[in-house]
Amino acid sequence: MSDTIDRIRLSLVRVPLPVPVSDAKVLTGRQRPMTEVAVLLAEVGTAEGRTGLGFGYAKRAGGDGQFAHAREIAPVLLGTDPSDTGRRWTELAWAGATVGRSGLAAQAIAPLDIALWDLKARRAGLPLAKLLGAYRESVRCYNTSGGFLHEPVEAVCANASAALAAGIGGVKVKVGQPDTAADLRRVAVVREHLGAGVPLMVDANQQWDRPTARRMGRALEEFGLEWIEEPLDAYDTAGHAALAAALDTPVASGEMLAGAAEHAALIEYDAVDVVQPDAARIGGVTPFLTVATLAHHRHLRLAPHFAMEIHLHLAAAYPTEPWVEHFEWLEPLFAERIEIADGRMAVPTRPGLGLTPTDQARAWTVATAEFTA
Specify the pLDDT at position 267. 95
* pLDDT at 243 exceeding the cut of 70: yes
pLDDT digits (tens, 9 = 90+) for 313-343: 999 999 999 999 999 999 999 999 999 999 9
- Catalytic residue, chosen from 69, 305, 311, 326, is 305
Specify the pLDDT at position 27. 85
* pLDDT at 137 exceeding the cut of 60: yes
Specify the pLDDT at position 94. 92
Q: Say if CB 250 and CB 273 are below 8 A apart.
A: yes
pLDDT digits (tens, 9 = 90+) for 3-40: 999 999 999 999 999 999 888 898 888 989 889 999 99
Strand order in the sheet with 365-372: 51-59, 34-46, 5-21, 365-372
Helix 260-268 to helix 237-246 angle (10° resolution) is: 40
The answer to the question of whether 325 is labelled as a binding residue is yes
Residue range(s) occupied by CATH 3.20.20.120 in the chain: 129-346
Residues, the chain: 373
The answer to the question of whether 233 is labelled as a binding residue is no
Per the DSSP assignment, residues forming a β-bridge with 274 are: 252, 301
Tell me if the pTM is above 0.75: yes
Please give the DSSP secondary-structure letter assigned to residue 334.
B
Half-sphere exposure of 1 (CA within 13 A, CB side): 8
* pLDDT at 357 exceeding the cut of 70: yes
- Catalytic residue, chosen from 69, 174, 240, 313, is 174
The answer to the question of whether 270 is labelled as a binding residue is no
Residue-averaged pLDDT of the chain: 96
pLDDT digits (tens, 9 = 90+) for 192-237: 999 999 999 999 999 999 999 999 999 999 999 999 999 999 999 9
- Residues ≥6 apart with Cβ < 8 Å to 301: 250, 273, 274, 275, 320, 321, 322, 323
The answer to the question of whether 255 is labelled as a binding residue is yes
The answer to the question of whether 179 is labelled as a binding residue is no
Specify the pLDDT at position 24. 87
Specify the pLDDT at position 151. 93
Specify the pLDDT at position 249. 98
The answer to the question of whether 335 is labelled as a binding residue is no
Active-site residue flag, 130: no
**Fold of the domain spanning 5-125+359-372:** Enolase-like; domain 1 (3.30.390)
CA distances from 366 to 32, 89, 114, 302 (A): 22, 26, 21, 34
C-alpha–C-alpha distance, residues 116 and 83, integer Å: 7
C-alpha–C-alpha distance, residues 123 and 284, integer Å: 19
* pLDDT at 364 exceeding the cut of 90: yes
* pLDDT at 262 exceeding the cut of 90: yes
pLDDT digits (tens, 9 = 90+) for 338-356: 999 999 999 999 999 999 9
User: In the predicted model, what is the mean pLDDT of residues 122-131?
Assistant: 97
Banded pLDDT at 101 (limits 50, 70, 90):
confident
Active-site residue flag, 174: yes
pLDDT > 90: what percent of the chain? 92
The answer to the question of whether 172 is labelled as a binding residue is yes
The class level of CATH for 129-346 reads alpha beta
* pLDDT at 1 exceeding the cut of 70: no
The answer to the question of whether 370 is labelled as a binding residue is no
Residue range(s) occupied by CATH 3.30.390.10 in the chain: 5-125+359-372
The answer to the question of whether 130 is labelled as a binding residue is no
The answer to the question of whether 183 is labelled as a binding residue is no
